Amino acid sequence: MALAPLGVHVRPYRDYLTPALHRRFSKASRYTLLLCYVTACIMGEWDNPLWLWFPIGPTGIRTLLIFLPALVVYVLRVAQWHVGERQTLTRAETFQKYFLRKSTFLTLVFYAFSAWLYGEVYIWSRTSASKLGLTDIGRAHERLKLNERPLFLRFLFLVLAVAQTGFHLWDDYDSIDVPAMKPKKGSDDTASAVPVRSTPNPRHLLAKKFPSMVATSGTLSAASLVVGALFYFVGPRHLIWNYYYSFSRYFISLSKTSKPTGLAPFMPLVFGFLAEGTLLVLLWQFVNRAFDLYIAQEPLKNDKPITGDSTDPNGTLLNGLKSKKEAVRAIAFWELALITDSFPDRRKTLYGELERKKAPTFQQVTDICLAEIKLLIERVSIGLDPSYNPKPSSSSQQPTAPVNLVPQIAQPLKNDKQVVAMAPTPTSRWEQVEATAAGLAKSHSAPANSRQAYGREALNKGMKKAQQGAQQAESVVSTYWNKLLSSWFGYPFRHSLQRTASVVILGAPYSRISLMCNAVTASTNLATFSLKQDELGRFHEGVPQMIRIFTTAIQKLDEYMAEVEIHWSDYDTRRKPAADRRKVPQVEEVRECIRDGLEKILGSFNEYLGGMGLSKLDILEAKKAAGASRGPEMLQASAAR
C-alpha cells in the first residue's frame, strides 16, 4: 500500500456527494414527469380520448409545461434542505426565528410562481366554451369587456400557493431525515460483511403514500376555494379589478367603465378549480415526498461507499467530516458509520494509513467522532450549570504587550489629586447675573436640604411608594400572564420539558442526533474491530479516553434528566404519570446508543482494561454506566436513598 501520496491532494467531499444527489434527483424526476403526463391528459379536452393520451402533440407540450412548476419546487428544496428537525424552546420562538427569514419569503415566492405557471397552462389549454379568455365578447355593437373569470381563477391559485407555503413551513418540509445508526450487539466480522439497506425502496413508499397525498390535496384545494372566495368577494375584489383593468387597457381597447363583469356560470369554474387545484397540490406533495425519500438514501454507489472512486478515499471522507456545512457533515458521518459497520476491506484501510498529514487516519477519525460526544457533554454541563465554561485549550494566545505609538513628552498627571478646570471669569453683565443666580441656587440646593429630617422622611416615603407600586404592577402582570398561558391563546408560549431537553442534548438550531449516534457507532466499530484488523496495534492507545468520554456522557445525561425543572406551564408533561414525565424518546435514543457502544467496547477489551491505563474506579464507573439501563427516575431514587 502506497502511503506517500496521502494528504497531498484530496478532492472535496462534495465532488462525490453532488453527483450522487444528482443521480437520485434524476430518479425522482422520472416519476414526477410521469405524474405530469397524467395531469396533462386530465387537463385536456375529452372530445377525442384516444388522441388525448397520445404523448406527441398538445398532451406532450402540456406535460413539459406542467413539469416546470414541479421543477420550481425541486429548485426550492435543493436550495434549502437541511438535516435534522428544528429545535426551539417554545412554539412562539419557532415563529419568531423562522417567519421573517429570507427563506420564508423565498418559499412563498417559489410556490406562487409555480401556481401561476400551472394556472396559465390550464387557462391556455381551455377552449372558448370555458369562458376563460381575457375579454368577454358581448353584442356586435358593444366594445370589448374585460373578463373577470380568469382573474378570479388566478387569485384562487395564489391562495392555494399561500396555503401550501403554510404547510411547508409548519411541517418543515426542508428537513431531511438521516438515519441514526446504533452499534450492533454482535461483534462477528463476517456477519457485517454484507451491507444492509437502512432505508426502504423510495418507489414502494411513494406508491404506499399516494392515496394519502390525494386525500390531502383534495382537502387543501377545497379549503382554499372556500377561504379564497370569501376573501375575494368581501375584501380586495374591486381593488384587484382596478389594477387588472388599468393594466389590460395598455393592450386592448376596452370600455371606459371599470366594473367587474361577474363570474357566471359559476359552478363550472368551481369544479374546474377543485380538479386542477387538487392535481397541483398533488404534484407539490409528490415532489416534496420524492425529494425526501431519494435524498435520504445511503451514500452508496453500486453498493460501495461514494468516496470509493477517489484516489484517496479516506482523505476525501475526512474532508467531509471536517466540512463547515452541517448537511455535508451529516452525510459523511453516515458514510463513516456504514464503512465501519459493513465494509471490512475499507475499514481495514483506516487502521493502516499512518503517514497521513497531521495524524494517522484512525486517530483523526476518532478525534472527530469524540468531538461530537464532547460537545454533547459541554451542552449538558451548561444546562446543569449556566456558569459552566469549558476549559480553554493550551494553545491560547498570550496577551500582547502594549505598544507605545508616540514618545512621552511630558510628565504624567498625578493620580492622588483631582484635576478640576477653573470656570471662566464672567465679563459681560448678563454673565455676572447668571453666575450670581447659580451661586444662590447652589447654596440652597437639595444636598443641603437632604440633611434635614423632614427631607429624609419624604425621600423614604417616596421610595416605599415606588417599591409598592412596582410590586403591585409586577403582581398584576404576572397574574394576567399566568391566565394567558393557561388559556388556549397561551399555547404557543408554553414551555415543554421535551423541547428543553431536546435543545440541550440534541443541539440547535437543528437536531444533531444523526451526527452523534453515527459518531458513536463509527468509533465503537473501530474500537471493537481493531482487535482483529489493526495489524500495527496502534488503535488501542485511544480506547481508555473513549471509555471515559462515553461514561461521562451517560452520567451527565442521567444527571441532567433527573434535575431539569418542569416548567409550571408544561401542562402536557404534568398530566403524565410521575414515572413517564422525564422520558423524552430522542434523548433516550441517544443515551441507549452511547450505552450500547460503551457496553460493546468493554466487552471486547474486558481482559485488557487494567493494563491500558484505566484505574479500578474508571472501570467500575464504566461498567455501572454500561450495565445499568437506568434512567433519570432511577437516578432520583438512588439520590433520595
Model pLDDT, residue 408:
47
Asked if pLDDT for residue 267 goes beyond 80, the answer is yes
Q: What is the mean pLDDT of residues 417-434?
A: 52
Q: Which one is predicted more confidently, 289 or 354?
A: 289
Report long-range pairs for 572-578 (Cβ below 8 Å, ≥24 apart).
Answer: 572/496, 573/496, 573/497, 573/498, 578/633
User: Among candidates 203, 85, 23, which has minimal Cα distance to 509?
Assistant: 85
Can you tell me the distance from the alpha carbon of 515 to that of 499, in angstroms, rounded to the nearest whole number?
A: 19
- Which phi and psi angles does 301 have, rounded to 5°? -135, 115
Reply yes or no on whether the pLDDT at 398 is more than 90: no
For 590-618, the pLDDT digits (tens) are 999 999 999 999 999 988 888 888 889 99
**Choice between 25 and 119, residue whose per-residue pLDDT is larger:** 119
Q: Which residue has the higher pLDDT, 47 or 418?
A: 47
Give the pLDDT of residue 43.
86
Q: How far from 115 is each of 110, 155, 203, 486, CA to CA, in Å? A: 9, 10, 26, 40
Lowest-confidence segment of 132-146, 148-162, 305-319, 537-551 by average pLDDT: 132-146
Contact in structure between 176 and 296 (CB atoms under 8 Å): yes
Question: d(Cα 405, Cα 354) in Å, to the nearest integer?
Answer: 50
Q: Which phi and psi angles does 11 have, rounded to 5°? A: -75, 150
Query: Could you read off the pLDDT of 439-465 as tens digits, one per residue?
Result: 544 554 444 444 445 445 555 655 665
Cis peptide before 211, with omega less than 30 degrees from 0? no
Cell of 526: 473501530
Query: What phi-psi label fits residue 438: left (phi over 0), alpha (psi between -120 and 50 degrees) or beta?
Result: alpha
Per-residue pLDDT at 420 exceeds 50: no
CA distance 134 to 150: 7
Closest CA to 232 of 260, 257, 255, 258: 260
Give the tens place of pLDDT for each residue, 558-586.
999 998 888 888 888 888 888 888 899 99
| Nine-digit cell string for 53 | 393520451
444 CB-near residues (< 8 Å, 6+ apart)? none
Report d(CA 561, CA 583) in Å as an integer: 8
Between the alpha carbon of residue 587 and those of residues 87, 417, 515, 623, 638, the distances in Å are 13, 63, 14, 21, 21
Alpha-carbon span 279 to 381, nearest angstrom: 51
Contact 279, 40 (CB under 8 A): no
**Which pLDDT does position 468 carry in this prediction?**
55
334-346 burial by CB neighbour count: b if 16+ within 10 A, else e? bbbbbbbbbbbeb
In angstroms, the CA 335 to CA 384 distance is: 33
Residue corresponding to grid cell 370589448: 144
Position 191 scores a pLDDT of 43
Which DSSP helix (H) or strand (E) runs through 439? helix 429-443
Q: What is the predicted pLDDT for the residue at 51?
A: 61
Residue 404 CA to residue 470 CA, distance in Å, equals: 51
Mean pLDDT check: name the lowest of 4-13, 170-179, 467-476, 601-610: 467-476
- Residue 40 exposure: Cα atoms within 13 Å on the Cβ side: 26
pLDDT tops 60 at residue 413:
no
> Which of helix, strand or coil describes residue 333?
helix
Q: What is the pLDDT of residue 248?
A: 83
> What single DSSP character describes residue 605?
S
pLDDT at 25 over 90: no
pLDDT, position 606: 86
pLDDT tens-place string over residues 480-533: 656 666 666 777 888 888 999 999 999 989 999 999 999 999 999 999 999 999
Give 124-148 pLDDT, tens digit per residue. Answer: 988 888 888 888 765 545 667 788 8
Query: Residue 466 — very low, low, confident or very high, per pLDDT cuts 50/70/90?
Result: low
> Where on the phi/psi map is residue 360: left (φ > 0), alpha (ψ -120 to 50), or beta?
beta
Query: In the prediction, which pLDDT does 348 show?
Result: 93
Percent of all residues in the chain with a pLDDT value above 70, rounded to a whole number: 76
pLDDT at 630 over 70: no
Q: Which residues contact 244 (CB under 8 A, 6 or more apart)?
A: 146, 151
* Total number of residues shown for the chain: 641
Backbone angles phi, psi at 5, to 5 degrees: -75, -5
Model confidence band, residue 389 (pLDDT cutoffs 50, 70, 90): low
Residue 307 near residue 14 (C-beta atoms within 8 A): no
- Distance between CA atoms of residues 351 and 359, nearest Å: 12
b/e per residue 85-101 (b: at least 16 CB within 10 A): ebbbbbeebbeeeeeee
Look at 150 and 458; give whichever has higher pLDDT: 150
CA dist 152 and 146 (Å) reads: 12
Say which residues have a Cβ less than 8 Å from residue 229's Cβ, sequence separation at least 6: 156
pLDDT recorded at residue 475: 59
Residue-averaged pLDDT of the chain:
81
Whole-angstrom Cα distance, residue 615 to residue 396?
31
* Contacts (Cβ under 8 Å, ≥6 apart) of 383: 504, 505, 560, 564
Q: What is the pLDDT of residues 540-549, one digit of tens each?
A: 889 999 999 9
Helix (H) or strand (E) holding 83: strand 82-83
Helices (H), 126-201: 149-170
Q: How far apart are CA 359 and CA 414, in angstroms?
A: 57
Tracing cell 387588472 back to the chain, one arrives at 244
In this prediction the pTM is 0.81
